[in-house]
Amino acid sequence: MLQQTTTAAVDSYYRRFIKRFPDVKTLAEAELTEVQRYWEGLGYYRRVKQLHQASIVIVNEHNDIFPDTFDAVLALPGIGRYTAGAICSIAQNQRYPILEANTIRLHARLLGYSDDPAKSFGNKLLWKMAEKILPETRPGHFNQALMDLGSLVCTPKTPKCSICPVFILCQAACRGTQNQIPALNKGKTFEERTEVALVVEKNKKYLMIQYPESVRWGGLWDFPRHVADSSEKLIVNQKLLEDFKRITGYSCSIQKQIMTIRHAVTKFKIKLCVCQAELTGQKTVSEYRTYWMSKKELAEIPLNTTARKIVNSILCEHHSDIQS
Ligand code: SF4
287-322: per-residue pLDDT in tens? Answer: 999 999 999 999 888 888 899 999 998 877 654 444
CB atoms within 10 A of CB 305: 16
Q: 176 CA to middle of ligand 1, Å?
A: 10
Side chain identity at residue 35, one-letter code: V
More confident residue, 86 or 7: 86
- Kindly report, residue by residue over 196-208, the tens digit of the pLDDT: 999 999 999 999 9
For 274-283, the pLDDT digits (tens) are: 999 999 988 8
Mutation choice for ligand 1 from 147, 153, 162, CB with most ligand atoms inside 8 A:
153
pLDDT score, position 16 = 95
Q: Which atom of ligand 1 is nearest the CA belonging to 164?
A: 6
Structural contact between residues 245 and 169, judged by C-beta atoms closer than 8 angstroms? no
Q: 184 pLDDT exceeds 80?
A: no
- Ligand 1 atom showing the smallest separation from residue 160 Cα: 7
User: pLDDT band for position 242 (50/70/90)?
Assistant: very high
Pocket test for ligand 1, best of 105, 109, 180 (most atoms within 8 A of CB): 109
In three-state secondary structure terms, 86 is helix
Q: What is the largest CA-CA distance in the chain?
A: 75
Model pLDDT for residues 137-163, shown as the tens digit of each residue: 999 999 999 999 999 999 999 999 999
| pLDDT computed for residue 323 by the predictor | 46
- Of the two residues 2 and 62, the one the predictor is more confident about is 62
Locate all alpha helices (DSSP H) within 40-95, ordered by sequence. 46-61, 70-74, 81-86
- How far away, in angstroms, is 111 Cα from ligand 1 center? 10
Any residues with CB less than 8 A from the CB of 183 and at least 6 apart, and which?
A: 114, 115, 116, 117
d(CA 112, CA 102): 15
Long-range contacts of 81-86 (CB under 8 A, 24+ apart): 81/127, 85/143, 86/143
Alpha carbon nearest to ligand 1 atom 4, residue: 170
Q: What is the pLDDT of residue 115?
A: 93
CA–centroid distance, 105 to ligand 1, in Å, is 9
DSSP state of 5: S
CA of 116 to the centre of ligand 1 (A): 18
- pLDDT of amino acid 188: 62
* pTM of the entire predicted model: 0.72
Q: Residues lining ligand 1, CB < 6 A? A: 106, 109-110, 153-154, 159-161, 164, 166-167, 170, 172-173, 178
Question: What is the pLDDT, as a whole number, of residue 265?
Answer: 80
Looking at 167-304, which runs of residues are DSSP E strands? 191-202, 205-210, 221-222, 225-227, 252-265, 268-279, 289-293
